[in-house]
Amino acid sequence: MATDKKRNLKKVLSITVVILITFVFISFGTTKIVYDACFPRYDGEQEALSEELKKLNESRTEEEFLSDGYRLKGYLYPAENGEKQGLIVFAIGFNATVNDYLWQVKAFSEKGYGVFIFDPTGCGDSEGESAVGFPQMLTDLDAALDYIEANKGFDYKDIFLFGHSRGGYAVCCVEIYGHDIAAVASVNGINSAMEGVMMPAANAVGNIVYSNYPFLWLYQVMLFGADTANANAADVLESTGTPALVIHSAGDETVPENRFSIISHTDEIDTDTVTFIKGYGDVNGNSHSKILFGEDGKANPELIKLITDFFDKAA
């Protein structure tokens, strides 16, 4: 009788192990399929540029650099009138290209700053079969800064970082790689890659998505390495001491102010080097990208002044 019980127990354990292994393989495979589908290549829409933006592009210099083996295309815009306030390295948002931010580039240039902006992996004029994931923006920004540093900062003394959305997360986190940055400005940034994926999914289908959290975390670590995959803006801002301006607009429905944004973690950032501005601007529809633009469709002049004044003081 005892022997039969042992056999039954072994059988139950064997079946349980098989079920667990099957669950792990299915869950991990499903995670990979869904995750990869969330980050397809994005080439943007080819819209005609205004005469002002065409003229702006005539002044730029094309630059190429490598990130994880892919050739990325960047553009160096000189400061207007030859001024040298510093170089702003611009990290763009998700499902966007350089062309979506040319009015902001022009506004920064008019304030006396040079601007380096690039299409990240799998976007616009850059190589890559897909956008890979949110941490790819961090990897690409690190590669861009390496390239700029190798070229003596393109002859600018100070390097500043500006980012929007996923770019806002990247500019706050990139100092984990040890770059010398004068100041950072982030607008409507996500706090971490994990939050950027998990919380929108939870909003869409419910908290059941958290059962896949370990598999998502493991997949991102496999893709990007632990340091990059686990980087979050709150921790980095707390530890670096670099002056940072973190702005979040009112009415942002894409990155809700109180959910997975950087600014939702203000209680965790105990340092006087970071300035927070919550509820910026008016609530009038989804302000996630709209906040970057004025009523004339060009760059929001108040936002540009706020950022450049902050950079001026930090220099």
What confidence score (pLDDT) does residue 216 get?
A: 86
pTM of the predicted model, to two decimals? 0.91
Query: What six digits make up the tokens of 119?
Result: 């299409």
For β-strands 244-249 and 61-67, DSSP reports them as unpaired
What confidence score (pLDDT) does residue 200 get?
A: 60
Whether 156 shows a pLDDT value over 90: the answer reads yes
- Is the Cβ–Cβ distance between 64 and 74 less than 8 Å? yes
Whether 194 shows a pLDDT value over 70: the answer reads yes
Phi-psi region of 41 (alpha: psi -120 to 50; beta: other; left: phi over 0): beta
Mean pLDDT, range 43-49, rounded to an integer: 85
State pLDDT tens for residues 87-124: 999 999 999 999 999 999 999 999 999 999 999 999 99
Query: What residue type is 23 in one-letter code?
Result: F
State pLDDT tens for residues 267-288: 999 999 999 999 998 767 789 9
298 pLDDT band (50/70/90 cuts)?
A: very high
Instruction: Tell me the C-alpha to C-alpha distance, in Å, between residue 210 and each of 116, 179, 181, 220.
Output: 38, 34, 36, 15
% of residues, the chain, pLDDT over 70: 86
Whether 24 shows a pLDDT value over 70: the answer reads no
- Is the Cβ–Cβ distance between 190 and 260 less than 8 Å? yes
Helix (H, G, I), strand (E, B), or coil: what is residue 117?
strand
Whether 296 shows a pLDDT value over 60: the answer reads yes
Alpha-carbon 79 to chain mean position: 24
**Structural domain 61-192+231-314, CATH architecture:** 3-Layer(aba) Sandwich (3.40)
Q: Which of 141-155, 192-206, 287-301 has the lowest mean pLDDT?
A: 192-206
Domain boundaries, the chain: 1-38+206-226, 61-192+231-314
Phi, psi dihedrals of residue 40, rounded to the nearest 5°: -75, 170
1 pLDDT band (50/70/90 cuts)?
A: low
State pLDDT tens for residues 116-128: 999 999 999 999 9
Instruction: Tell me the C-alpha to C-alpha distance, in Å, between residue 238 and each of 172, 233, 271.
Output: 10, 8, 6
State pLDDT tens for residues 200-249: 666 555 666 667 788 889 989 999 999 999 999 999 999 999 999 999 99
Whether 171 shows a pLDDT value over 80: the answer reads yes
C-alpha 135/C-alpha 224 separation (Å) is 7
Mean pLDDT, range 164-170, rounded to an integer: 97
Alpha-carbon 109 to chain mean position: 22
Placement of tokens 């295309």 in the chain: 73
- Is the Cβ–Cβ distance between 98 and 42 less than 8 Å? no
Mean pLDDT, range 160-186, rounded to an integer: 97
What confidence score (pLDDT) does residue 54 get?
A: 96
C-alpha 180/C-alpha 197 separation (Å) is 29
Query: What is the residue-averaged pLDDT of the chain?
Result: 89
Mean pLDDT, range 278-301, rounded to an integer: 90
Mean pLDDT, range 51-61, rounded to an integer: 96
Per 3-state DSSP, the chain is made up of helix, strand and coil in percentages (nearest 5) of: 50, 20, 30
